Amino acid sequence: MAAAHLLIRRHYDCFNERRFADGADLFAEDCVLEHPPFGQKRVGRQGYLELVKHWVDAFPDGQLQIDHVEQRGDTICEVDLIGTGTHQGDFDMGGYGVLKASGVKTTLRFRELLEIRGGQITYSSLTFDVHDLLRQLAGRS
Is the pLDDT confidence value at 35 over 90? no
pTM over 0.85? The answer is: yes
Q: What is the pLDDT of residues 105-120, one digit of tens each?
A: 999 999 999 999 999 9
- Count the domains in the chain: 1
Q: What is the pLDDT of residues 76-87, one digit of tens each?
A: 999 999 999 999
Own/partner long-range contacts of 33-39 (Cβ < 8 Å, ≥24 apart): 33/123, 33/124, 33/125, 33/126, 34/124, 34/125, 34/126, 35/124, 35/125, 35/126, 35/127, 36/94, 36/127, 37/93, 37/94, 37/95, 37/96, 37/130, 38/92, 38/93, 38/94, 39/94, 39/95
Domain around 72:
2-138
Q: What is the pLDDT of residues 89-102, one digit of tens each?
A: 999 887 788 889 99
pLDDT in the model for residue 106:
96
What CATH number should be reported for the domain holding residue 131? 3.10.450.50
Q: Which among 25, 13, 100, 87 has a CA at the least distance from the CA of 56?
A: 87
